[in-house]
Amino acid sequence: MMRAPSRHRPVSLLLAAVVVTACAPDRPETRAVAGVRDTLPDGRVVVRYPALPAGDPLPAAVDLRIGVVEGPAEEIFGDVRGVEADRDGTIYVLDHQAAEIRAFDADGRFVRTVASRGEGPGELDTPNGMVLVHDTLLWVQDPGGWRMIGLATDGGEVDRYPMPVLAFGYIWEGTVDRHGRLWKHQVHSTAERVFPPEEGLTEAIVHEYMVVYDPARAEKDSVYLGAVPSRTLIQRNNRGGHTYFPVPFDPRPITTVHADGTIWRTDADTYRIVRIGADGDTTLVIESEVAPPPVTDRDRLEYVEARVARDPEQRRVAERVARLMPPAKPVITSLSTDDEGRLWVGRTRTDDFGPLYDVFSADGTWEGSVELAFDLPASMPIRVRGGRVYTTIQDSLGVPVVVRTHRVFEPS
């Protein structure tokens, strides 16, 4: 839900001269941030920064909104699960509820329906994510048919294949690199599966992988990323089953894939991001002295009250989960890349303003920090294309609205 106008900060950009080599965008500076680059004996490059800017950036504004409560049917969305844009500014919106992909021009005018519900070629069942490749091909995950569908941006099916990595989440978090390979993060737990499960706190080691599928060769491979601890509280519910409660604010690894097929990864508990090659070796490390925000009594209370609002009988277990919360929150909330190869690092906020992203070039040079003037619904990613941020918010009535910011970086 959007904040009241008096509390809004606009989308914003902090820029500074950095001692590592790269050209920052031509915008006024607010504060210099000096990064130090070292090459270790094993060949890894480490770029270290002091604390990055946290507020009072340059003002900017959201310059386009698509989505209405009443009006043309093409501008009414039910459940947006994907937003993409090409270099010309054409916007593609995937509506999961309608099982449609609609195209809008750079001024927000409806252009065409790229795909709609059906069982024939180029038609969709239950699409829950998409990614645009080379400005010409939309890869769509359609788990209703356990398939990936490649669509031309002007309509029509180009390719399809069975879903190589079984996954069904609210929004598909996979991606496709410039070589057409599909990437998806997967985890495997060491915990023994028993039924009925033992109630109480379960601690396990989770092994992480990035699975890659090459449709041209019909080959699947994986890159092992490491092992991390995981905690879940298991409680018997009043329906005769069991409810699984992950512990909020426990750090969980975050990954994204660069267009060249290398992997960005963070454990999220500290400000440390690594770049990993196809062989699993770390080639670049970005670090910053950003302190983890504390988990407050208010955080614990809000978690309990949210659980109780859904089910009053969950108060005792919710209070137990709240007591298990760690003393500090993860520093990093998300990783994503834009069409220029920049890395966007979502940073946990401790104030009352919108999401904040630190932006780095592919070699680890900090290029600025972008602040959004609006809250993002849970699990809603951003897309940055042509120097603009695209995403989906909800208006005061809960209606999905696709938004685009002004250009915060000039495209090359």
User: Taking the complete model, does pTM exceed 0.85, yes or no?
Assistant: yes
pLDDT, position 168: 60
Q: How far apart are CA 260 and CA 177, in angstroms?
A: 6
Cis peptide upstream of residue 196 (ω within 30 degrees of 0): yes
As given in the structure block, the two tokens for residue 82 are 């994907």
What pLDDT does residue 136 have?
A: 94
Tell me: the pLDDT tens digits for 219-238?
Answer: 999 999 999 999 999 998 87
Find the range with the poorest average confidence among 163-177, 257-271, 332-346: 163-177
Secondary structure element (H or E) that encloses residue 134, with its range: none
The whole-angstrom separation of Cα 94 and Cα 224 is 32
22-81 pLDDT, tens per residue? 333 444 444 668 799 999 999 999 999 998 887 545 545 789 999 999 999 999 999 999
- The DSSP-derived string for 251-288 is ---EEEE-TTS-EEEE-SSSSEEEEE-TTS-EEEEEEE
Question: Please, what is the Cα angle at 411 between 379 and 401, to 5 degrees?
Answer: 35
Query: Is residue 111 scored above 60 in pLDDT?
Result: yes
pLDDT of 192 reads 76
The answer to whether residues 237 and 196 touch, using CB atoms and an 8 Å cutoff, is: no
Instruction: Give me the mean pLDDT over the 104-133 stretch.
Output: 95
Largest CA distance in the chain: 62
pLDDT at 55: 59
Find the mean pLDDT for residues 142-159: 92
Residue 1 has pLDDT above 70, yes or no: no
Order of strands, edge to edge, in the sheet holding 254-257? 36-39, 45-49, 282-288, 272-276, 263-266, 254-257
Compute the distance between CA of residue 410 and CA of residue 404 in angstroms, rounded to an integer.
Answer: 15
pLDDT attached to residue 57: 56
**Residues 88-104: what's their mean pLDDT?**
97
